[in-house]
């Protein structure tokens, strides 16, 4: 399933997966009525809708074409850093978050995730344990709908919790999530993180 977040609402494409985006688009699809109807439905949801939207009756190749038509893509990567039975979190512009950032040209998602975590938290000696589910959220930037896919990786560090916030990126603090504060974090962070990674975070903390 492909779940796209816009503010606090979601678009769920039941039979669609992120790999479908990589399939080359047949331009003849742009003239089909199903393409037009799906394009209008998703645009209306983005611009005017305040409820969740579910799509389960549109072919993957058409959904892929619609998504590519609407959005500019901004790939990012980040880390769920495990320190003992805690998880490293940040506060960015007043919102609790996990360390993440844009993937640079020619950079792989895992390399970008390691770099962004180091830059935003100053935590070093990071090692990737495994890849986690990606999050997808969209926002309007300069009149263009932008879709940010964030590739997430579980990481560990051999240096313990030695951190410093990257203040020039709006990060005011780096802190550890534990049993005392994790529920508050999940309530106040972005809904995409809560729904996609919340269970994984709780599993680490409660292990």
Segment 99-145, tens digit of pLDDT: 999 999 999 999 999 999 999 999 999 999 999 999 999 999 998 99
For residue 140, count CB atoms less than 10 angstroms from its CB and return exposed for 0-12, middle for 13-18, buried for 19 or more. exposed
pTM of the predicted structure, to 2 decimals: 0.91
For residues 54 and 12, is the Cβ–Cβ distance under 8 A? yes
Angle, to 10 degrees, between the axis of helix 33-47 and the axis of helix 60-70?
Answer: 50
Q: Are 19 and 61 in contact (CB under 8 A)?
A: no
Phi-psi region of 140 (alpha: psi -120 to 50; beta: other; left: phi over 0): beta
Task: Of 54, 46, 177, 75, give the one whose Cα is nearest residue 135.
Answer: 75
Lowest mean pLDDT among 13-22, 53-62, 164-173: 13-22
H or E stretch covering 18? none
């Amino acid at each position: 399933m492909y779940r796209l977040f816009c503010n606090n609402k979601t678009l769920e494409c039941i039979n669609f997966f992120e790999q479908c985006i990589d399939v080359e688009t047949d331009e003849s699809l742009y003239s089909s009525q199903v393409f037009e109807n799906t394009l209008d439905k998703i645009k209306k949801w983005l611009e005017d809708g305040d409820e969740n939207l579910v799509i389960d009756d549109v072919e993957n190749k058409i959904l892929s074409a619609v998504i590519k038509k609407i959005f500019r893509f901004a790939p990012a990567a980040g880390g769920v850093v495990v320190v003992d039975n805690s998880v490293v979190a940040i506060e960015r512009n007043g919102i609790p978050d996990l360390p993440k950032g844009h993937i640079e040209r020619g950079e792989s998602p895992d390399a970008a995730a390691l770099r962004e975590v180091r830059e935003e938290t100053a935590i070093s000696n990071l090692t990737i344990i495994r890849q986690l589910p990606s999050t997808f959220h969209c926002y309007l930037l300069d009149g263009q709908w932008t879709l940010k896919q964030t590739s997430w990786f579980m990481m560990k560090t051999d240096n313990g919790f030695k951190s410093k916030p990257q203040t020039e990126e709006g990060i005011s603090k780096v802190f550890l999530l534990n049993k005392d504060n994790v529920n508050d974090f999940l309530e106040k962070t972005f809904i995409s993180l809560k729904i996609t990674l919340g269970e994984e975070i709780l599993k680490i903390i409660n292990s």
